[in-house]
Structure 1
Amino acid sequence: MANTKRTGKSRILLWLLLLIGAAIAAAAYVYRAPIGGYADVGTAYAARVGCSCRFVSDRSLKDCNKDKLSGMELVTLVDDPQAKSVTARFPLVTSSTATYREGYGCVLEKWEG
């Protein structure tokens, strides 16, 4: 039967990991409004620019990903060729979609918030 007693070092490591996790959760809670705001604006910008790149310039989505600004590495782009739209997602926070409309270019769908 395995020894289930924790050594002093493993207890310290466990408490340290719990403390780090609690600090990250507290920071995310305190800064949730700015994080959400930047994520909303970032995904809207990426969706509109990605849509224009994909459906106005007729480039591949892989090529359009190269145009993202630095700091937007977490934003992912997904296209829908049938709907002529691009959706930008910031994981676990928000997403925005822009759709190509003849005569208007790429238009963001209405924000709810």
Structure 2
Amino acid sequence: MAKAGTRSSPSKPRRGLWILLAIITAVTALCFHYRAQALGFAQAATAYSARVACSCRFVAGRGMKDCAKDKPQGTELVTLVDDVEARSVTARFPLIASDTAIYREGYGCVLKEWDD
């Protein structure tokens, strides 16, 4: 039994729960703090990757596996999907951003939102 006036220490599973909660809180705070930078990076990465991959695929005539090698370092999470019929390439950054570049005769590849 514990002596009167002393507290018993929390059990290990309970301490582990508090540590896990502190880690989750810290990660959430960091994500919230850097959300604008992350969104900006994701949008720039998808726009750039879609445009470059579209040019690689439909101007240079290379395959998508070969075009994926042209992605700059830091854009490993960006996935590329081509649509041969639409002559377009879509780049996606998971859960954050997506951009599509379309080949237009005489203009090359342009981002879909800029295509009017």
TM-score tier, shorter chain, comes to: 0.7 to 0.9
Give the alignment of 1:43-82 within 5 angstroms.
43-82=46-85
Percent identity for Structure 1 against Structure 2: 61
Residue 38 of structure 1 corresponds to which residue in structure 2? 41
Which 10-residue stretch deviates more, 23-32 or 39-48?
Answer: 23-32
Residue 23 of structure 1: how far off its partner (Å): 1.2
Q: Deviations over 1:34-61 (max 9, x none)?
A: 1111111111000000101111111111
Unaligned runs of 5+ in 2: 1-9
Say which one has the larger Rg.
Answer: 2
AA matched with 2:11? G
Residue 24 of structure 1: how far off its partner (Å): 1.3
TM-score between the two structures when normalised by the length of structure 1: 0.85
Residue 14 of structure 1: how far off its partner (Å): 2.4
Q: Deviations over 1:12-42 (max 9, x none)?
A: 2222222212211111111111111111111
Residue 67 of structure 1: how far off its partner (Å): 0.8
Which 10-residue stretch deviates more, 11-20 or 63-72?
Answer: 11-20
Which 10-residue stretch deviates more, 14-23 or 79-88?
Answer: 14-23
Q: Quote the Cα distance in structure 1 between the aligned partners of 2:81 and 2:25.
A: 33
Return structure 1 stretches of 4+ with deviation > 6 angstroms: none
Q: Deviations over 1:48-80 (max 9, x none)?
A: 001011111111111111111111111111111
Residue 4 of structure 2 corresponds to which residue in structure 1? none
Q: Quote the Cα distance in structure 2 between the aligned partners of 1:17 and 1:58.
A: 50
Which 10-residue stretch deviates more, 15-24 or 47-56?
Answer: 15-24
TM-score between the two structures when normalised by the length of structure 2: 0.83
Residue 5 of structure 2 corresponds to which residue in structure 1? none
RMSD of aligned alpha carbons: 1.5
Residue-pair matches, total = 105
